[in-house]
Amino acid sequence: MSELLSVQSSKAVNKEAGREKLKPHTVSPRLAVPAHIMRPPYVDTGKNPFYDEVQVHDAESLVKMRAACKLAAQVLEYAGTLVQPGVTTDAIDKAVHQMIIDNGAYPSPLTYGNFPKSVCTSVNECICHGIPDSRGLANGDIINIDVTVYLNGYHGDTSRMFFVGSVSDSARRLCETTKQCLDAAIMQCGPGVPVSRIGQVIHEMGERAKLGVVPNFVGHGVGWHFHSAPVINHVRNREPGVMVPGLTFTIEPMLVEGTTRSKTWRDDWTVVTADGKLAAQYEHTILITKGGHEVLTVA
């Protein structure tokens, strides 16, 4: 789930894309979490804290961090199997919620900044933070599912795109390029590498593909805090700091077919492209090791 910051459809048609414009649908009541499951500290406050603390792990905390990230990856993999025409994002949320609590974890987005659901589902022109609702997925949609779990005091955070039925060549290219940007940025990671290198690589790849890289949502440190330093910009930047062994953070580039300008809905979470064109996002949690890096969010 990106730091800084729901979405779904109407009969209004985006004439350029030939598809329905996203519009809010019904959001069902918040799901319950059993009392025995450990909760992050923000749950009862409705706040969305960001910590300046850089989260560097020792061997003991890394065991818990690996477990949280592995569970997040497994949940995301399962969520992807549910993506098909007619399935609502609310149904995906319910299934994700159940799998998370069945594994003794808390769905990190739930009540973070008063977010009402357990997963983010961002469809078509939704850049990020889509709130699951009653809209059924349609053939040709693309959807980002963003899963974060809180297990034994640690957050694991990951997301990826899924195709609903048969999608356009341009939608497929957007998603594939976004994944390539993430992969290329990960390959840059290692001890002593400037944090700013990540944004430089992603921005250059986006420009070569003639796609926009959204500047105002970033990756972040993650671990015992959901969101913390360092800030991981996905565009060219002069953010200070270098990567050190034991550091964990997310990289989560968001690319768009048109303008990088965005609009935020009245729910204070749903972020959509200003021109209604498609957006895509991929995310992994990365560990910096003595010899390079490790992707933690793998099933």
- pLDDT score at 1: 78
Q: Note the pLDDT of residue 41.
A: 96
d(CA 43, CA 282): 26
Spacing of C-alpha 109 from chain mean position: 10
* Residue 44 assigned as binding residue: no
Q: What is the pLDDT of residue 75?
A: 98
**What are the CB-based long-range contacts (under 8 Å, 24+) for 8-13?**
8/89, 8/123, 8/130, 8/133, 8/134, 8/135, 9/123, 9/135, 9/138
Could you give the CA distance from residue 58 to residue 74 in angstroms, rounded to a whole number? 24
Tens digit of pLDDT for each residue in 17-75?
468 899 999 999 999 999 999 999 999 999 999 999 999 999 999 999 999 999 999 99
In the three-class reduction of DSSP (H, G, I as helix; E, B as strand; rest coil), residue 3 is classed as: strand
Cα torsion 202, 203, 207, 213: sign:
positive
Rg of the chain over CA atoms, in angstroms? 18
Residues 6 or more apart whose CB falls under 8 angstroms from that of 135 comprise: 8, 9, 25, 88, 89, 123
Regarding beta strands 126-128 and 271-273, do their DSSP bridges make them parallel or antiparallel, or are they unpaired? antiparallel
Report pLDDT digits (tens) over 103-113. Answer: 999 999 999 99
Give pLDDT, residue 3: 62
Query: Is 227 known as a binding-site position?
Result: yes
**Start-to-end Cα distance in the chain:** 18
pLDDT of residue 12: 40
Q: What pLDDT is stored for residue 212 in this prediction?
A: 98
Give a yes or no: residue 201 inside a domain. yes
How many separate domains does the chain show? 1
Question: Is 34 domain-assigned?
Answer: no
CATH number, residue 204: 3.90.230.10
pLDDT string in tens for the chain (299-residue length): 776 533 333 334 444 446 889 999 999 999 999 999 999 999 999 999 999 999 999 999 999 999 999 999 999 999 999 999 999 999 999 999 999 999 999 999 999 999 999 999 999 999 999 999 999 999 999 999 999 999 999 999 999 999 999 999 999 999 999 999 999 999 999 999 999 999 999 999 999 999 999 999 999 999 999 999 999 999 999 989 999 999 999 999 999 999 999 999 999 999 999 999 999 999 999 999 999 999 999 99
Q: Which of 111, 110, 75, 72 lies closest to 95 in space, CA to CA?
A: 75
97 is in an annotated binding site: no
With contact defined as beta carbons under 8 Å apart, do 110 and 119 qualify? no
Annotated binding-site residue? 146: yes
Range of the domain at 94: 50-295
User: Is 125 labelled as part of a ligand binding site?
Assistant: no
